[in-house]
Structure 1
Amino acid sequence: MTTVLLPSLPRTASKRPGIEFPFFCLLGCSAKYMIPGTREKIWLCVAVTYLFQGIAYSEELRRMKRTVDPEAFMNINELIAYKGYPSEEYEVTTEDGYIITINRIPYGTQNQGNPALKPAVFLQHGLLGDASNWVTNLPNNSLGFMLADAGFDVWMGNSRGNRWSRKHQNYSIDQEEFWAFSFDEMAKFDLPAAINFIVEKTRQEKLYYIGYSQGATIAFIAFSTMPELAQKIKLYFALAPVTTIKYARSPATKLLYLPEKLLRGLLGKREFLPQTECLRRLIAPVCSHRAFAQLCRSVFFSLGGCNLKNIDMNRINVYIAQTTSGTSVQNILHWSQATPPPYNVEEMTVPTAVWTGGQDWLADAKDAAILLSRIKRLIYHKRIPEWAHLDFLWGLDAPLRVYSEIIDLMQKHP
C-alpha cells in the first residue's frame, strides 16, 4: 500500500499503530471526494482517520467492544460452528500456484445424514468479499445455512488475495508478483481448481453454482471459455451479476475514472483494502457508537446503494467487521478499463437464472439488460425494483424473494 506523507500532522499520532490513512481515504473519501481541487475534503478525511486512531486507545473503545456482537470477530469456521452447524475447511492449489481456501457445511442442523448423498452447491462471493458473506446472518436468513438445512452439501469459495487465500507456492504476500492478478485469473484458475476439487471430493459429476457480483462475473468467463468446466454445472444462479460498469451509479466507482497512472500512484501495486485483525477489532466497536454509525453506514453502502429498511441494522457491525476482505490493485484497475475484455457470454451453454435489483448502484439495470440479452439459456430472471447490491446478501426479505426460489429451482432440476 502506498504511504501518503502529509505535512503538519501530529508526530505522536503518526507513531501509533492503528488505522492507516489510505484505508479510510480510499474506501470512504476517495470515491466520493478525492477530485482535484477538493483539498479541504481530503483533509477532512485525514482528520476523521486520526479521530479514529485516538479512539482506538481510549477507555471508550474498550467499553464499546463489550457491546459488539461476538460474531464480528469470528473467522468463517467459528461463524458456522457458532450457529451449531458442522464446518470443514480445505486448501486447494491452483494451476498457477495460488493456494485458495474453501469452506464447507456438509449438512444442516435439520438435515444431517450422509453428505455423499447430498447434492453439492458452490457459492462464490463478490469483489471485496469472502465466504463469510453467506453465513453472517441468522440461520433462517443466510443462504449458506438455508441450503444446508434444505439438504445440500454447501461449499463456499475464497478468491485469491482475500484474507483467507493469501498463500502461493513461490511468492509471499510481500512480493508484487503475488498481487499480479485480476478476475481473469480467478476465472481461469481459481474456479476450475475449486469446482474440480469439489467434484472429486464428493464423487458427484455435477454441482450447482451460485455467484454474487464478481462471483457471477468469473462464472460467465469460465463457463463460456471452458466447455469442459461448464459441463460440470447443473444450474448457474447469478445474483446481482456485474460484467460491465458503464452505467454504474456507485460513488465508489468514480475512483475508476481517474487516469491509470494516478490510480496506481494512489493505490500502489499490491493489495487493495486489506482487512487486518487489528483493523477489524477497531472498526466494529467504533461503528457501533452512535457518533460514528452514520459515517460507517455511508461508507459501507457507498459501493452498491442503500436500502436501509431491508437491512438488520442491529447486525451492521458484524457486516462491516467481516467486510472488506481485500483484493489486488490490479483487479481494481482491471475494472477501470474503458473497454471490457471480449468474452463471448453467448458461448455459455449452462442453464442460468438471474436476479437483479432496481436500486443497485453497481450492477445497474442498463448494464444488466445488456448481459441478459446475451445469455443463451436464460431459464429465469427476476428484477426486484427496490433492492440494492447488498440486499442479495443481507436483505431481510432475501429468503422469501430469492433464496427460496433458488432452492425450489434446485429441487426441480436435480
Structure 2
Amino acid sequence: MGNSRGNTWSLKHKTLNPSQKAFWQFSFDEMGKYDIPAELYFIMNKTGQKDVYYVGHSEGTTTGFIAFSTYPELAKRIKMFGALSPVITGSYATSPLVKIISVPEPLLRVLFGCKGALHQIGFLKGPVTQLCASLDKFCGHVLCYIAGGNIKNLNTSRIDTYVGHSPAGTSVQDIIHWHQIRRAGRFQAYDYGSKENMKKYNQSTPPAYKIEKIGTPIAVWSGGQDKFADPKDMAELLPRIPNLIYHEHFPAWGHLDFIWGLDATEKMYRKIIELMIKYF
C-alpha cells in the first residue's frame, strides 16, 4: 500500500524538507510519472514477482492512468488495474471542495500559498476527533455532504478515526493542477505557461495523457452519488479505456463508499479478488 507524496506519512526527502518551497513543487503528474513506477518496481524487485496488480481509489486512479499511459513497458507488467471511483478531469464534480478550487488560479495561490495544503492541523486534530466521537452522525453527514453517499452505509462509530486521519494533505501545485484540468476539460499535464511549457514539454500547451494507449486490463467501479467522480465523467472516461474488462455501477454510492462503505466487501472487494484470480 503506497502513500501519495506530500501527505501525512510522506513528508520526508533526502535533501529537502517541508518548510522549503522546492519540496512542494509536484502534483499528481510527478506521482504518476515517478512515484508509482518507483513503488511498483520496488515491490517487484523485493518480492521477485514479475507482474503485479494495481488497485487505486480517486487520485490513486489518476496516477495509475498517468503511469501506465506514460510507460508501456510498466503497463505490460500490470496484471489488472482496479479503478475505484476514477477521476481524470472532474468536469462534472459537484463537491463543495471542488467549487472552492474553481476560483481563479491567482486567488488559489493567495488562499493556499505555494507549499502544502489540506493537512491535519495539530491543535485542531484532538478537538475535532473528540467532537466526532460525540457527534458521529453529524460528522458523518458532513462527509456525505462533501463526498456524496448515504450515512447509513458508514460505520459512524469509526467517524472519529476517519477524521483523525483525513484529509492527509497534498501540495498546492496538486490542487492547482486539478483546477487546470477541470477548467480545460482535458486530462493533461501541469500547465506552467507557454514559455515554461516549451522548456519542459517542447510545446506551448501541456500534453494530454493518452489513456487510449493503455493495454492493461482495467476494471472500473463507479457510484451514482459520487460528488468527485460523477456518472457524466464516467460516461466520458469508459469509452476511452481500450481494455475495459469489467464495469460495475452502484447508484447509491458516494466517493467514500469505495473505502469505508459497510457493504463494500460484499459488493466490490470480493469481485476485485475474483478478477485478480482470473487475471493471475
Q: TM-score, normalised by structure 1?
A: 0.60
Which of 314, 317, 328 matches 2:171? 328
- The residue aligned with 1:369 is 235
2:23 aligned partner: 178
Which of 205, 219, 223 aligns to 1:357? It is: 223
Asked which structure has the greater CA Rg, the reply is: 1
Q: Deviations over 1:254-283 (max 9, x none)?
A: 012211111111111111111255443232
Q: Deviations over 1:322-359 (max 9, x none)?
A: 21111001101110011131111000000000000011
Deviation at 1:301, TM superposition (A): 3.0
Contact kept, 8 Å, 1:253 with 1:303, in 2: the verdict is no
1:273 alignment partner, one of 118, 135, 147:
118
Q: Does 1:234 align with 2:79?
A: yes
Aligned-pair identity (%): 49
Q: Which amino acid aligns with 1:157?
A: G
Q: Note if contact 1:237-1:353 (Cα within 8 Å) is conserved in structure 2.
A: yes
Q: Does structure 1 retain, via aligned residues, the 8 Å contact 2:144–2:151?
A: no
8 A Cα contact 1:303 1:361, kept in partner: yes
What corresponds to 1:58 in structure 2?
A: none
1:208 matched to 2:53: yes
Tell me, yes or no, if the aligned pair for 1:207 and 1:233 is still in contact at 8 Å: yes
Query: Quick check: 2:141–2:151 contact (8 Å CA) kept in 1?
Result: no
After TM superposition, list the pairs within 5 Å mapping 1:109-258 onto structure 2.
156-258=1-103
Query: Structure 2 counterpart of 1:371, which letter?
Result: L
Question: What TM-score do the two structures reach when normalised by structure 2?
Answer: 0.88
How far does the alpha carbon of each residue in 1:57-95 deviate from its partner, in whole angstroms, 9 at most, with x for none?
A: xxxxxxxxxxxxxxxxxxxxxxxxxxxxxxxxxxxxxxx
Letter in 2 for 1:183: F
Cα shift readout 1:343-395 (whole Å, capped 9, x = no counterpart): 11000000000000011011000101111010000000000111111000011
Q: Would the aligned equivalents of 2:51 and 2:77 in 1 still touch at CA under 8 Å? A: yes
Secondary structure in 2 matching 1:209:
strand
Deviations 1:90-142 (A, max 9, x none): xxxxxxxxxxxxxxxxxxxxxxxxxxxxxxxxxxxxxxxxxxxxxxxxxxxxx
Q: Distance in 2 between matches of 1:349 and 1:302?
A: 36
1:300, 1:326 → 2: CA distance? 16
**Is 1:403 aligned with 2:269?**
yes
1:284-319 deviation per Cα after TM superposition (whole angstroms, max 9, x unaligned): 1122223x852x334433432131111111111111
How many residues matched?
257
How far apart, CA to CA, are the structure 1 residues paired with 2:32 and 2:261? 27
Structure 1 runs (4+) deviating above 6 angstroms are none
Q: Say whether 1:289 aligns with 2:155.
A: no
CA distance in 2, matches of 1:174, 1:245: 30
Q: How does 1:290-305 map to 2 (within 5 A)?
A: 290=135, 294=138, 296-305=139-148
SS in 2 for 1:356: strand
The equivalent residue for 1:390 is: 256
State the partner residue of 2:155: 312
**Once structures 1 and 2 are overlaid, which stretch shifts more, 209-218 or 316-325?**
316-325
Aligned counterpart, 1:137: none
What do the CA deviations read for 1:196-242 (whole angstroms, capped 9, x no partner)? 10000000101110000000011011101101111221000000000
Partner residue, 1:109: none
SS at match of 1:388: coil
Report the Cα distance in structure 2 between the residues aligned to 1:196 and 1:276, rounded to whole angstroms: 34
Q: 1:252–1:302: 8 Å Cα contact kept in structure 2?
A: no
Matched-pair contact (CA < 8 Å) for 2:82–2:218 = yes
Structure 1 gaps of 5+ residues are: 1-155
Contact 1:235 1:351 (8 Å CA) reproduced:
yes
Do 2:144 and 2:254's aligned partners in 1 also have CA atoms closer than 8 Å?
Answer: no
* C-alpha contact 1:300 1:320 (8 A) present in aligned 2: no
Q: For 2:101, what is the secondary structure of its paired residue?
A: helix
Task: Report whether the alignment pairs 1:345 with 2:188.
Answer: no
